[in-house]
Amino acid sequence: MIFSSFRKFFWLWRRATCRTVILSDRSEPERQSVGSRRICGCSFGNPTRLLTFFAVLFAPLAAPAQAHFDGARAYEYARQFAAIGPRWPTGPGHIKAQEFLRTHFAHDQLEQDTFTADTPIGPVPLCNFIVRFPGRKAGAVVLGSHYETNYPLRNINFVGANDGAATTGLLMAIADRLRAEAAQSRDKKLDGYSVWLVFFDGEEAIQSWSRSDSTYGSRHLAAKWGRDGTLNQIKAFLLADMIGDKDLDIQRETNSTAWLVDLVAQAAKKFGDQRYFFQQEMSVEDDHLPFVERGVPSIDVIDLDYGPNNSYHHTAQDTMDKISAHSLTIDGDVFMESIRLIDQR
């Protein structure tokens, strides 16, 4: 391999710089007719060939093969987040989780959206976190996930490795990518739309799931952004939920916006990951609904099939060994590519 590369290099070098090599490609009469120019000067006499030489030589540097998303990084963030322990509203882990996010995003454009939710156990203080990465195009792509765990599961050491922690880690690793991309640009902005990451609080039911006892954070934020006009800026909202599962099979969620589902499928196809996406159809109530209802193009990227007969879902078995860096790599690849495709629309 090294040998053949070296030979190719040498051949290109000679082709670009030595007239004799060029001449050797020609027929004998031709060579004779230009005999006086057969002397190899190893000069850079032919600008076109020289340019070709450097173009071929440095092509891998100019257009590197697209690197995969760093799912191991997302997994490590998820591990740290799950290690906080149960994060049910009003509990000590909930406060620690908020401190974790506040500290992690201290040097980013972080907004804390605190409010009091009216719940079956009375008023509960909740907080959504919004991290903004400004872009050059007017408008924003929003990626969301919830970070808290279930209040009714507060006594079973439910850490929600897949249900909350995995997608929190995913968004944190996506933030790393966006931060690096912005840092490299002259004006510290992303190429396309702004990207806002939203860490929702209060997705889970406090008592039992209903439209009024669930999705407290997203209902609050969608209503607030509806009132102040922010929703008009949102080109697309992609929600990530339970997609750290080792056995990844993301359903086609039927409340989601059709063109956005197609776009995510297209993004998955780019990486040859289509087998993990949309093999089954399902309707899911989740944090995307308050946005869908207000006309924001939205998708719930969710794998609601977790463990044998869904036995890890909302149980103490939802632990880090059930999720994988590989699944988070697939998610990250597809989310980053989806942002790119939305930018191009």
Residues that bind Zn ion (CB under 5 A): 163
In the bound complex, what is the minimum distance in angstroms from residue 167's beta carbon to Zn ion?
11
In the bound complex, what is the minimum distance in angstroms from residue 204's beta carbon to Zn ion?
5
Of residues 286 and 333, the one with the C-beta less far from Zn ion = 286
In the bound complex, what is the minimum distance in angstroms from residue 244's beta carbon to Zn ion?
13
In the bound complex, what is the minimum distance in angstroms from residue 203's beta carbon to Zn ion?
7
Closest to 242 in 3D by CA, of 183, 165, 173, 163: 163
Q: Measured on CA atoms in the order 91, 93, 99, 102, is the torsion positive or negative? A: negative
Of residues 163 and 303, the one with the C-beta less far from Zn ion = 163
Of residues 140 and 161, the one with the C-beta less far from Zn ion = 161
Of residues 205 and 328, the one with the C-beta less far from Zn ion = 205
Of residues 135 and 164, the one with the C-beta less far from Zn ion = 164
Task: Return contacts of 122-128, CB within 8 angstroms, 24+ apart.
Answer: 124/89, 124/90, 124/202, 124/206, 124/216, 125/89, 125/90, 126/89, 126/201, 126/202, 126/216, 126/217, 126/220, 127/98, 127/201, 128/198, 128/199, 128/200, 128/201, 128/217, 128/220, 128/221
Of residues 113 and 163, the one with the C-beta less far from Zn ion = 163
In the bound complex, what is the minimum distance in angstroms from residue 86's beta carbon to Zn ion?
13
Strands 298-302 and 250-253: unpaired
In the bound complex, what is the minimum distance in angstroms from residue 157's beta carbon to Zn ion?
15
- What does DSSP assign to residue 207? S
**Residue 66 CB-density burial (10 A; 0-12 exposed, 13-18 middle, 19+ buried):** exposed
Q: Which residues pair with 146 in a beta bridge?
A: 200
Give the nearest residue (CB) to Zn ion.
163
